[in-house]
Amino acid sequence: MSQMQPATGFVGYFDILGYTQIMLNNNIHKTAQFVSDTLMNIPRDMIDSLRSPSLAVRPLEVAPESSERDDWSQILDRVSWIIFSDSILISLPFDPALPDRDLVRHYLVFSTVCASLMNRSFTAGFPLRGAISVGEFFIEDRCFAGRPIINAYYAMQRLEFAGCVLDEAANSLISEARKDLVKKGERNLLTKLDQTTILYMVPLKENADERHRTINWVVLDTPGFSPIVGEIREVTTRAFLMHNKIAVPSVQGKINNTEMFIRHVLTNLRRDDAPQ
């Protein structure tokens, strides 16, 4: 029997906020339809759309130019998904010896996938919370193990909004890679990195707030991505109440926190990207 070999890479762990209410407030046939129409179709549809070339360079564009599209597609092909109950596990292996420039490219693909997942799920009435970690892990079919999976799970469990954060290991890796890009003057990669991942005071359980690198799933301009538009309070409340979910007191805080995050992204990224 061949020995199972772990991989090194990025791991994202997500769960659906309000999934228990969906199960309790809908019959099994309706719940199965929700899951089939949305969760089971998102990975294939999303990867296909992210593979599509963009037609023009736009302010918040993250998808690559034509010279990089082959590499972009090859990295996309290595993204793996496992969906079980209300949880989604995404992984992307990479060579630990990659230079920082290539490491950031892998991270840009992975963070864009995570942002697109959160964006599409939110619009469909399945707001997610999640976390990204990095390290050695093992995934075979639907069996998985590894410290980054556990770390991402625990980081996700602390969140009190629909959002995705980098845990300590992922934050350290990306912070060091970013410093290297600054030294080398890699302005294009820096711009893309700062659009997918922002610093934010993240609301946590027990009324705590901590500064984390956080995935921008609100207004990223990349193929197949639909920016959050409209009256923000109404859009946010609708996402949390769709599919017969009920806004019990514990949910109100998550709605408020998610609304504030959306407003923060829309205000600051649009301002930072305005012509000087």
The phi, psi pair for 15, rounded to 5°, reads -140, 160
Across the chain, mean pLDDT equals 87
Q: Residue 190 class from Cβ within 10 Å (0-12 exposed, 13-18 middle, 19+ buried)?
A: middle
On the question of pLDDT at 140 being above 70, the answer is: yes
On the question of pLDDT at 60 being above 70, the answer is: no
On the question of pLDDT at 138 being above 70, the answer is: yes
Report pLDDT for 102.
93
What pTM did the predictor assign? 0.89
What does the alpha-carbon distance between residue 265 and residue 263 come to, in Å, rounded to a whole number? 6
Of 177, 8, 167, 6, the residue nearest 92 (C-alpha): 8
Q: What is the mean pLDDT of residues 38-62?
A: 66
pLDDT class of 274 with cuts at 50, 70, 90: very low
The phi, psi pair for 100, rounded to 5°, reads -55, -35
Three-state secondary structure readout of 7-73: EEEEEEEEEECCHHHHHHHCCHHHHHHHHHHHHCCHHHHHHHHHHCCCCCCCCCECCCCHHHHHHHH
Q: Alpha carbon of 133 to those of 17, 162, 172, 242: distances in Å?
A: 20, 18, 10, 30
Report pLDDT for 53.
47
On the question of pLDDT at 57 being above 80, the answer is: no
Question: Tokens 């949910």 appear where?
Answer: 251
Top pLDDT among 163 and 53 is at 163
Of 161, 106, 162, the residue nearest 134 (C-alpha): 106
What structural domains does the chain harbor?
7-273 (3.30.70.1230)
- Using DSSP's 3-state secondary structure scheme, residue 125 falls into coil
* pLDDT tens profile 224-238: 788 999 999 999 999
E-strand stretches of 85-207:
87-93, 128-140, 143-145, 164-166, 197-204
pLDDT class of 62 with cuts at 50, 70, 90: low
* pLDDT tens profile 31-44: 777 777 777 788 88
Report pLDDT for 32.
78
Token pair, residue 145, equals 């193990």
